[in-house]
Structure 1
């Protein structure tokens, strides 16, 4: 549960109220795993294990996904999908786009649409787990209404 701003009662994320940007949380340290990697120059850095490898995401695929988000924003408005939809809605669309792609239809970027729907499933599962979207949106067979323990 997000805390409330002591000045206005607004729900805040990570103790930063959007209404009071000068009341930002002060960070006085850098997270440290205790492990280091050293570069040929002698520079050292904390290891990145478990933090994700964003450098491995192909830029061309990320661009096509971003363009799909842009096209959706034009059609439905910015961040419409964050309001929530049942998981089955995303999975149905994902499978439909997969079939269209497999059948040779190139009238739209079906692969970007598949990725977009997969991202939306992940987002929705996370938000259900955090209590931000209704548990009823987890409507797939064997859906678990609470945040799955396999989600990091």
Structure 2
């Protein structure tokens, strides 16, 4: 299936983009990178015997890939033109979604660790907020006290 998947990816890449790179993933899938459009397409074996999982996503600054934004399962026997139409639809869906300013790929481990760090930072900011409020209240109380003592 990997040979047929690679041939399908080559034909699809030539149909979609003049400039592209096709390479094999460690998992046995094939990736098509379109650097000029900052998008990638992945073709991988799906659950069915003659099905492939088509996933699309963005290429971030620096060349790293963002997680998939859209996906679909299609028969491997689908003609290149129909597969290209599916990919165009998925690419349009991915492009229409929200674009975070500082998007970066995350793994489960990274997401857990960054969540812990951001939780500590949020707690630190919360403490700072309450410290400022306490200082303002204290200064106001001193001003009221000083005004009442002085009269």
Task: Answer whether TM exceeds 0.5 for this pair.
Answer: no
Q: TM-score, normalised by structure 1?
A: 0.25
Q: TM-score, normalised by structure 2?
A: 0.25
- Please identify which structure carries the higher helix content: 2
- Please identify which structure carries the higher strand content: 2
Q: Is the radius of gyration larger for structure 1 or structure 2? A: 2
